[in-house]
């Protein structure tokens, strides 16, 4: 199995982390939403030959230690209806190409607490 260190993941999480305070509360629990997103990315990475647990742990570290630091989602409906399906359907090329762009439905979605 390929080592996760070769997977280009920084662009994904850099675009995902929102700044500021929560805009509104949502029906989808922010921690659950974060875990859904990391699971979708890790499952896709596993299909590309990467280790699921290592991938998940790396993404979790990159968002600030764990999904428990996420207090809100920018737009829960967009996140659940568009961002999660996009992550579930990423190609191996999208996961490994540093020039790949994060889908706009995912940008700034995960809002960390102060």
Residues 6+ apart with CB under 8 A from 72: 22, 23, 24, 25, 26, 30, 111
The answer as to whether 94 is a domain residue is yes
In a domain, 5, yes or no: no
User: Looking at 12-21, 78-87, 102-111, which range is the least confident one?
Assistant: 12-21
Give the pLDDT band (50/70/90) at residue 58: confident
pTM score: 0.74
Would residue 21 count as lying in a domain?
A: no
Cα 23 to Cα 87: distance, rounded to the nearest angstrom: 23
Tell me whether residue 12 is in a domain. Answer: no
At 86 the three-state DSSP class reads helix
> Which domain range does residue 82 map to?
28-112
pLDDT tens track for 67-105: 998 999 999 999 999 999 999 999 999 988 888 888 999
Is the predicted pLDDT of residue 15 greater than 80, yes or no? no
Whether residue 40 lies inside any domain: the answer is yes
Asked whether residue 55 is domain-assigned, the answer is: yes
Number of compact structural domains in the chain: 1
Q: Is residue 80 part of a domain?
A: yes
Query: How many residues are recorded in the chain?
Result: 114
102 in a domain, yes or no? yes
């Amino acid at each position: 199995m390929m080592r996760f260190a070769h997977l280009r993941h920084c662009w994904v999480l850099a675009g995902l982390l929102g700044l500021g305070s929560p805009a509104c509360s949502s029906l989808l629990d922010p921690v659950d939403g974060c875990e859904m997103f990391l699971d979708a990315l890790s499952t896709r990475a596993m299909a590309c030959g990467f280790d699921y647990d290592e991938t998940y742990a790396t993404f979790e570290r990159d968002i600030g230690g764990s999904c428990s630091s996420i207090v809100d989602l920018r737009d829960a409906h967009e996140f659940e209806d568009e961002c999660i399906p996009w992550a579930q359907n990423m190609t191996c090329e999208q996961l490994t190409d540093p020039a790949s762009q994060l889908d706009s439905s995912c940008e700034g979605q995960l809002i960390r607490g102060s």
